[in-house]
Amino acid sequence: RSLARLSRRAARAAGGRNGVPCRGGRGATVSALPLRRPHEVACVALAFALLLLPLRGGRAAVPRLQAGVVVDVGPGAQLTRLAAAADDLYIIDAAPGHVRRYILHGLPYAELMTQVMRWKEGADKLIMGKPLDLYLSGERLLILDSLGSLWSYWGPDYSRTFVPLRLQSNQGAIVALARHGGDLLVLDPDTRQIWVYHSDASGGYDTTPRPLMPRPIADLRDATRLAVSHDALYVLLVRGAVLALPWRHPRTIVRLGLAGEATGVWASAAHGGCLVSFARSIVFVDQGGMVRWRASLRGLGDDTIRDIALSPSGRLYLLTQTRIWLVQSPPPAVVTAFT
């Protein structure tokens, strides 16, 4: 009887009876079925109840993680890139054109800050351009600037050196970098290509790069960042899509099936898969391109996530316009996948 009443209420709510069409809330045509026998009513009502059960209270529940502020740079900052070492955090602040290093000393908040690089600063008889991208390998930080120059910063002794990198006439303006093995990868949206520089014996890179792809890729025109994992090269696009280029078949391009516009991507050269950030959530994508875990963030207030990084010690950090955040108690399965 209860199921029968449920069916009748559903029919009355739909506005039609015995097959008379009516308008649903989104313009769809809905009809009430001409059910006369109790067992028919019961079967249909039970089916509807089972279908609607997961929708009670809205969409399926997504785990929520708490985040706390590690660094607050202050009003006027425009933080764009984040790199996390074992006990240090590096950021690019695009407003003044600085690269800063925050020293943690094992604490959940930064105690010390030092300038790594400043726009228009003179070094090695050269003038630095605006910092565009960072790539961290152990304690070695590579910095790409807007003049196409490459700089190396060695954390333990706070030293910075210029790394010779020659751009050829068939290359455009490079905007991002990464490393795969000993090779340097640079992203060139102008030519819709990723260029590969082999390392040389002097610690620099050869003068003639080779293209990673046999022909220009149209999607790379909107590319902004690179991330290297053990299995693939990930490329973030302006419109929030993420491409994966498997190392076994680098000419194959896979677009990850992500819901929403991604804002950052992070990967580890020693492990498979990647972490992807969105405005207020993060996901873990395995080496097969499947989303294995998703969580939203609490505590951000009005801030939206711009970048994501996992430290070698397993601390998960997020970057917003003026702050660095530490995610509290990230799932162990996600952390162990990269450490």
| Confidence class for position 62, pLDDT limits 50, 70, 90 | confident
φ and ψ at 19, to 5 degrees?
A: 85, 5
pLDDT of residue 126: 78
Say which range, 23-27, 46-50, 230-234, has the weakest mean pLDDT. Answer: 23-27
Count Cβ atoms below 10 Å from residue 17 Cβ, excluding itself: 14
> Is residue 70 predicted with pLDDT exceeding 90?
yes
In the sheet that holds 131-137, the strands lie side by side as: 131-137, 140-145, 150-154, 159-163
| pLDDT of res. 36 | 54
Confidence of residue 116 (pLDDT cuts 50, 70, 90): very high
Q: How far is CA 74 from the centre of its chain?
A: 24
Give 199's DSSP letter. Answer: B
Please list, in sequence order, all residues whose beta carbon lies within 8 angstroms of the beta carbon of residue 51, skipping any fewer than 6 positions away: none
- Which of the residue ranges 46-55, 141-150, 221-230, 295-304 would you say has the lowest mean pLDDT? 46-55
Task: Kindly tell me if the per-residue pLDDT of 162 is higher than 60.
Answer: yes
Q: Which residues in 221-260 are b (16+ Cβ under 10 Å) and which e?
A: eebbbbbbbebbbbbbbeeebbbbbbeeebeeeeebebee
Q: Is 10 helix (H, G, I), strand (E, B) or coil?
A: helix
- pLDDT value at 206 more than 90: no
Residue 248 has pLDDT above 60, yes or no: yes
- The answer to whether residue 33 scores a pLDDT higher than 50 is no
Instruction: Summarize pLDDT for 295-306 with one digit per residue, the tens.
Output: 999 999 999 999
What's the 3-state SS for 93-120? ECCCCEEEEEECCCCCCCCEEEEEEECC
Query: What is the DSSP annotation of 204-235?
Result: SB-SS-EESSSS--GGGGGEEEEEE-SSEEEE
Given a cut of 50, is residue 171 above it in pLDDT? Answer: yes
**How many Å is the Cα radius of gyration of the chain?**
26
Lowest mean pLDDT among 42-56, 150-164, 179-193, 261-275: 42-56
Tokens read off for 326: 């530490």
Residue 39 has pLDDT above 80, yes or no: no
Q: Work out the average pLDDT over 271-289.
A: 95
Q: For residue 119, which of 110, 109, 129 has the smallest C-alpha distance?
A: 129
The pTM for the full model equals 0.81
**Gap between the Cα atoms of 134 and 117, Å rounded:** 12
pLDDT at 53: 39
Longest distance between any two alpha carbons in the chain, whole Å: 91
Q: What number is the average pLDDT over the span 272-280?
A: 97
Between 54 and 115, the more confident residue is 115
What single-letter DSSP state applies at residue 37? S
141 close to 189: Cβ distance less than 8 angstroms: no
Kindly tell me if the per-residue pLDDT of 24 is higher than 50. no
Mean pLDDT of the chain: 85
